[in-house]
Each structure stands twice: as C-alpha cells, then as structure tokens.
Structure 1
Amino acid sequence: MTSSARFWDKTARNYAKSAIGDMPAYEYTLGRTRSYLKQSDHALELGAGTGSTAIALADSVKQITVTDISGEMLDIGRERAAEAEVTNISFAQAIPKTAPKGPFDVVMAHNFLHLVDTLESDLADIAWRVKSGGLFISKTPCIAEPGLGLKFGLMKVVIPLMQAFGKAPFVRYLGIAELEKLIGDAGFDIIETGNYPVRPPSRYIVARKR
C-alpha cells in the first residue's frame, strides 16, 4: 500500500463527515457537469473519494464507474450508493494508470489533479481512456495563483512539515495557465472554464478529446 493510500484510508471516516466548503459553487459545477451528460453515457470518475458526486450524477448516465486509491473511501461510497438505491454505479480501487480501460464517454476528476505527483503521465492515462470526441471534466484548486494572501503562503510552509509526519497528502501547487496547458498537451481542447469558488480559485474545466 502506498503512503497516499494509507493517508486516505486513515482519514476516510472523518473526511466523509466533513461539510462541503462552498456548497453554492459545488452545486453550480454539479449542474454544469450534468448538462454535458447523456443517458447513454458510460462515465468514469477518478479520485472520487466517497463517491458523493458520482452518486448525485448517476441518474444522468447509463453507467458510472468510481475509482479511488483508498479502499476505505470506496467502502463508504458503496454504503452511500446502497442507501441511495443507486444501482448503475461500480467501484474499483485504482489510480489513473490502473483504472478500467474504457474507452469512456466522459471521464471526471473533481478535486483530484492537485493530489497526484505524476500529473503529466496521469493526464496521458486519462486521455487514453476517453473516446475520441469524448469529454474530460475536472475541478482543481489552483493555489499557485498570485494574491491569495498570508494564509496560503503559510500553507506552503506547514504542509511539507505535516507530510513528513504522515499528516498531509501530496499537494501540487498549480496555476491556472499551467493546468490548462497540461490538459491541452494531453490531447484535449478546452470548451468551458470557470472558477468556482473564485477565491481561492478552483478551476472548473470541460475539455473535449481531439
């Protein structure tokens, strides 16, 4: 088991109890994502955690496959799907490289890309799993953007110390331009963007595979 898997396994139950930080922003991007989905779609969500977003979107697709590095997170997701009586959802412990091959009509990665330390190769693995003309939909905190203030400056000091003691996961400090370039370089054309919330910016991106 990797250190990332161990970290998320340990924090899974507390994570499941935590409230969404900005509910209006979450609901808005959930609605935008739903607008791109079709009843015939087979979708894949990477780094899905406890599966809450996938469960909310399940009625908009034919089938949705949920993956996460943490088996504990997925166990909670299975419990929640059963409680919600969602039957068109499946769960698999995986990273992008080992995720089901597809190809999928839509691949999603919400609040995930900044948590992987092999982003360039992961984006290539994602692109390989999206059918030609299919969609990649993501939302990513971009805390390398300027002007975020003292709090985020301190985070860059504190997080490495916490990581040394296993108290924080890997975090990549991404800027919006860098993130969009990496997605474009992976073989996608970006068709919609926005920051939800605006500060600190969580970049919502809808991209179509070339």
Structure 2
Amino acid sequence: MTATAKFWDGIAEKYAKSPIRDIESYEHTLQRTVSYLKQTDQVLELGCGTGRTALRLSGHADTITASDVSPGMLAVGRRLAQEEQIENVVFVEADANRPPNWAYDVVMAFNLLHLIRDLEATLAGVHEVLKPGGLFISKTPCLAQGGLGFKFGLLKLLLPIMQLLGKAPFVSQFDIKTLETAIEKAGFEIIESGNFPAKPPSRFLVARKL
C-alpha cells in the first residue's frame, strides 16, 4: 500500500462523517455537472473518496465507475451505495495516473488534481480513456493564486510540517493559469470555467477532448 493510500485509509470513516464545508459551492458544482450529463453516459470519477458525489450523480448517467487509491474510502462508498440501494455506481481501486481501461463519455475529478504528483501523466490518462469529443469535468483548489487570506496563508506555512508528521497528504500549489494551460496541453478545449467558491479559488472546468 502506498503512503497516499495509507493516509486516506486512516481518515476514511472520519471523512465520511464530516459535513461539506461550503455546501452552496458544492451544490452549484453538482448543478453545472448535471447539465452536461446524459442518461446514456458511461462516467468515470477519479479520486472519488467515499463516493458521495458519484452517488448524488447516479441518477443522471447510465453507469458511474467511482475510482480511488484508498480501499478504506471505497469501502465506505460501497456501504453507502448499499444503504441507498444505488446499483449503477461501481467502486474500483485505481490510481489516478492509471485509470480503468475503458471508453468513457465523461471523466470527473473533483478536489483531486492538486493532490497529484504527476499532473501531466494523469491528464494524459484522462485523455486516453475518453471517447472522441468526451468531457473532462473537474474542480481544483488553486492555492498559488494569491489573496488567500491569513487563515489559508498560515495553513500553507504549516503544511510541510504536517506532511512530515503524516497529518497531511501531498499537495501541489499552482494558480489557475497553470492548471488551465496543463489541461489544454493535454489535448482539451476548455468550454466552461468558474470559481466555486471564489476564495480560495476552486476552479471548476469543463473541457472537451480534441
């Protein structure tokens, strides 16, 4: 088991019980995502965590493959799916750099890309498994954008110490332009963008495979 998987395994149950911090931004993200989904879509979510989002979106697609590197997170997701009697969400253990080998209409990655060590490889993998003209829908905290305020500035200073103590995962800090450039270089055209929330900016992007 990798250190990343071990970290997320260790907090899976606590994470599942934690309320969504910004419910308004979360619901708006779901609303915008739903507007792009079709009932016939085969969807892949990378870094699904406990599957909360995949389960919420399950009624808007044919099937959703919810993937994550953490067996502990996936176990919670399977339990929730069973409790909610949702049968079209399949939970699969997979690294974001090596997505399940299938052809998808939509790939989603919410609050994930800043936790990836090799963003270029992940985006290449997304491009590979998407059907021609398929959509990549993501939302990513851009922690190098600036103007984060005192609280988040302090967290950034403490992050290396927390990581050494095993209390925080790897976190990549980039700005919006860097993120969007990487996605475009990977062979995508950005067709929608927005910040939900605006501060610190969590960049919502919809990109079409070229």
Q: Which moved more, 1:39-48 or 1:118-127?
A: 118-127
Answering whether residue 209 of structure 2 is matched by residue 203 of structure 1, we say no
Report the Cα distance in structure 2 between the residues aligned to 1:35 and 1:88, rounded to whole angstroms: 19
Q: How does 1:157-196 map to 2 (within 5 A)?
A: 157-196=157-196
Report the Cα distance in structure 1 between the residues aligned to 2:174 and 2:155, rounded to whole angstroms: 14
Q: How does 1:93-104 map to 2 (within 5 A)?
A: 93-104=93-104
Percent identity at matched positions? 53
Answering whether residue 49 of structure 2 is matched by residue 49 of structure 1, we say yes
- The amino acid across from 2:5 in the alignment is A
**1:78 match:** 78
Displacement, 1:206?
0.3
The one-character-per-residue Cα deviations of 1:73-107 (angstroms, maximum 9, x if unpaired) are 00000011111111111111111233211110000
Segments of 5+ residues of structure 2 without an aligned counterpart are none
Report the Cα distance in structure 1 between the residues aligned to 2:51 and 2:87, rounded to whole angstroms: 13
Report the Cα distance in structure 2 between the residues aligned to 1:172 and 1:87, rounded to whole angstroms: 35
Report the Cα distance in structure 1 between the residues aligned to 2:58 and 2:107, rounded to whole angstroms: 13
Displacement, 1:27?
0.4
Displacement, 1:197?
0.6
- The amino acid across from 1:152 in the alignment is F
Displacement, 1:153?
2.2
Displacement, 1:71?
0.2
What secondary structure, in the 3-state scheme, does the structure 1 residue paired with 2:97 have? Answer: helix
Report the Cα distance in structure 1 between the residues aligned to 2:142 and 2:97, rounded to whole angstroms: 23
What secondary structure, in the 3-state scheme, does the structure 2 residue paired with 1:98 have? Answer: coil
Displacement, 1:199?
0.7
Q: CA RMSD in A?
A: 0.8
Report the Cα distance in structure 2 between the residues aligned to 1:148 and 1:28, rounded to whole angstroms: 21
- The amino acid across from 1:90 in the alignment is V
What secondary structure, in the 3-state scheme, does the structure 2 residue paired with 1:166 have? Answer: coil
Q: How does 1:1-210 map to 2 (within 5 A)?
A: 1-210=1-210
Report the Cα distance in structure 2 between the residues aligned to 1:84 and 1:107, rounded to whole angstroms: 23
What TM-score do you get using the length of structure 2 for normalisation? 0.98
The one-character-per-residue Cα deviations of 1:90-143 (angstroms, maximum 9, x if unpaired) are 111111233211110000000000011111111111111111100000000111
Segments of 5+ residues of structure 1 without an aligned counterpart are none
Q: Which moved more, 1:148-157 or 1:64-73?
A: 148-157
Q: Which moved more, 1:145-154 or 1:27-36?
A: 145-154
- The amino acid across from 1:188 in the alignment is F
Count of aligned positions: 210
- The amino acid across from 2:118 in the alignment is T
- The amino acid across from 1:169 in the alignment is P
The one-character-per-residue Cα deviations of 1:168-209 (angstroms, maximum 9, x if unpaired) are 000011200100000101110000000001111110000000
Q: Which moved more, 1:87-96 or 1:152-161?
A: 152-161
Displacement, 1:46?
0.2
* Contact 2:41-2:63 within 8 A present in 1 as well: yes
Displacement, 1:167?
0.8
- Report the CA distance shift for 1:166/1:84 in structure 2 as closer, same or farther (over 3 A): same
- The amino acid across from 1:39 in the alignment is Q
Report the Cα distance in structure 1 between the residues aligned to 2:161 and 2:37, rounded to whole angstroms: 41
